[in-house]
Amino acid sequence: MTHPNRFNSSQITKKRILFVTVGSTLFPALTNLILSSNILSFLSQSMTELVVQYGQGDPDCSNLTKVHQSLSVRSLDTEGQSERIMKTGLSKKSEGMEKVGKENGEEEYEYEGMRIKMFRYTNEFSEMIKESDYVVSHAGSGSILSVLRSRKPLLVIPNQTLMDDHQSELAYELSKHGYLLVTSVDNLLQGLERLLNLSPNTLEPFPEQDRTAFKNILDDTAGYT
Amino acid sequence: MWLSYLSLVSIVIPALFALRVYLLIRYRDQKPKRQAGETCSLGVFLGSGGHTAEMVALLSTIDLERYTPRVYVYCWGDEMSLRAISTIESSRYSTENSTQPSYSRIAFPRARKVGQSWFSTILTTIRTLFHVIWYTFLVPLTQPRKPWVDVLLVNGPGTCVVLVLVCWIRRILGLSYTRIIYVESFARVRSLSLSGKLLRPFVDTFVVQWPSAGGKGTTYKGWLV
């Protein structure tokens, strides 16, 4: 079966990057599934690069061919991702020194011609989003906002194992307004098909921050009216 | 004789206390009138992770020269919030000639970590309470007519409840009045967070970012972040 997104040899030189992020959270259902041969085969038909931020997970890379491992320090993020600092600290303590390389470094693999970069944390979250063509994210509001503001096509996979699952509410509400796509872990493949086949301008552009609304609320409460 | 003392302690004082709290909730202090050129001191709680990220977005829209001096409150070890303070304040230096810092920082122990049991939460909250009472109540008591800050801005999580509580101790004693704004997270679509539910009757302006999250008595002016 030929997929509509399959590239011919002249197009393959153009980079097409899919960024999959679970922020600083533990979401093995997504990080393991994305590295299953089923999903990878599908992605390698149309993507040249897959970037995975696996957060606190320890994904199984047995399907992949190792290319390179750099030890560049990419810990401590700046914006939008919850509880990063604390959890970096915790996991470093609990896992000991032998994991430090994997902790901060970026590993590179290959699968059927598609390059796969994997890392736990990044300082350059917004830059990574800007460089990518499509984003798959957990339902964290910080990650969702960053991606929508960068105007990248976004597929959100809520983590249904969370106790207080208000996060998926946000994702489903925003998808109702057409700003993003949302699906469950079980329907990841169909979700990816929808994401990669989106025609331009299908998703609503997310509005920029309203720079007067909060200012007015504060001025009003403080008595400047 | 001892019986009348006992009744005074066990009935009359709590009753008067409850009446005072009720009256303070029922009949809010008259909103102050400030002239456009006046300054207003601002307290900001940075609650780590997504809370801090949203707070940075909110503060990026306000007039920092008007809201001077500023006091940033954050929790021990929260490097992300420390960096957030320098992000917020560095935007000011580009527009202002004065090199004198018009802000200060206070760090408290966290009242509740994610997943902490309720019993140990009580103990850590008491520890936080002592710190907050010292810095925001006892130290400012040397100038009882001047509030700790004119306006306090909080957006969760738990530890900010303690800050609001100490503002209320001042209110109950009839000392200067700090107006309090609570901004519920963009992630809360249909329900309030725990700190939101707790604080809603006790703040002057309760802001939600989805109309379905708050209901009666809340302020909704669209998305703020």
Q: What pLDDT digit, counting tens, does each position of A5-17 carry?
A: 555 544 546 889 9
Chain A residues with CB under 8 Å of B189 CB are: 166, 169-170, 173
Is the link from the previous residue into B157 a cis peptide, with omega within 30 of 0? Answer: yes
Nearest CA-CA partner of A219 in B91, B35, B203? B35
- Flag if B223 and A141 touch (Cβ within 8 Å): no
- The angle subtended at Cα A112 by Cα A111 and Cα A115, nearest 5°, is 50
Residue B3's pLDDT is 78
Secondary-structure breakdown of chain B: helix, strand, coil percentages, each rounded to the nearest 5: 45, 15, 40
**CATH at A206:** 3.40.50.2000
Res B27: pLDDT: 78
> What pLDDT shows up at residue A99?
38
How far is it, in rounded angstroms, from Cα B83 to Cα A39?
Answer: 38
Residue with tokens 């996991």: A91
Residue B134 tokens, joined: 């010292």
Query: Touching check for A198 and chain B: CB below 8 Å?
Result: no
In chain A, the number of structural domains is: 1
Mutual angle of helices B159-172 and B13-26, in 10-degree steps: 100
Partners of residue A214 in chain B, C-beta under 8 Å: 58, 61-62, 183, 207, 221, 224
Query: Does residue A120 fall inside a structural domain?
Result: yes
* Burial grade of A176 (CB within 10 A; 0-12, 13-18, 19 or more): exposed
How big is chain B by its Cα radius of gyration, in Å? Answer: 19
Residue A197 Cα, gap to closest chain B Cα (Å): 28
> Using the beta-carbon criterion (under 8 Å), do A86 and B78 form an inter-chain contact?
yes
Of B50, B219, B221, the CB nearest to A142: B50
Mean pLDDT score of chain B? 88
Tell me the β-bridge partners of B73.
B45, B106
A75 has pLDDT over 60 = no
pLDDT level of residue A29 (50, 70, 90 thresholds): very high
Q: Does residue B30 surpass a pLDDT of 60?
A: yes
Q: Are B32 and A223 inside 8 Å of each other by CB?
A: yes
Q: Round the average pLDDT of chain A to a whole number and report it.
A: 83
pTM: 0.82
A186: which residues sit within 8 A by CB, 6+ positions away? none
**Residue A7 lies inside a defined structural domain of this protein:** no
Q: How far apart are CA B134 and CA B130, in angstroms?
A: 6
Query: Looking at the predicted structure, is the pLDDT value of residue B1 above 50?
Result: yes
Question: What is the C-alpha separation between B213 and B224, in angstroms, rounded?
Answer: 14
Say if A126 falls within a structural domain.
Answer: yes
> How do residues A120-179 score in pLDDT, each as one tens digit?
988 889 999 999 999 999 999 989 999 999 999 999 999 988 766 788 999 999 999 999
Minimum-distance CB partner of A221 among B60, B151, B221: B151
Cβ-in-10-Å burial (0-12, 13-18, 19+) of A221 comes to buried
What number is the average pLDDT over the span A92-98?
36
pLDDT of residue A145: 94
Q: What is the CA radius of gyration of chain A?
A: 19
Residue A165 in contact with partner chain B when CB distance is under 8 A: no
Nearest CA to A134 out of A178, A207, A193 is that of A193
A55 compared with A2, residue with greater pLDDT: A55
Q: Inter-chain contact A213–B222, Cβ cutoff 8 Å?
A: yes
- CATH fold of B40-220: Rossmann fold (3.40.50)
Residue A6 lies in a domain: no
A156: enclosing H helix or E strand: strand A154-156
Predicted local confidence at residue B35, as pLDDT = 93
* pLDDT for residue A196: 96
**pLDDT for A79 beyond 80:** no
Q: Is the pLDDT reported for residue A82 higher than 60? A: no
Residues whose CB is less than 8 angstroms from the CB of residue B97 and which lie 6 or more positions away in sequence, other chains included: none
**Residue percentage of chain B with pLDDT more than 70:** 95
Task: Look at residue B98 in the predicted model and tell me its pLDDT.
Answer: 57
Domain that holds residue A162: 15-222
Confidence (pLDDT) at A148: 96
What residue spans define the domains of chain B? 40-220
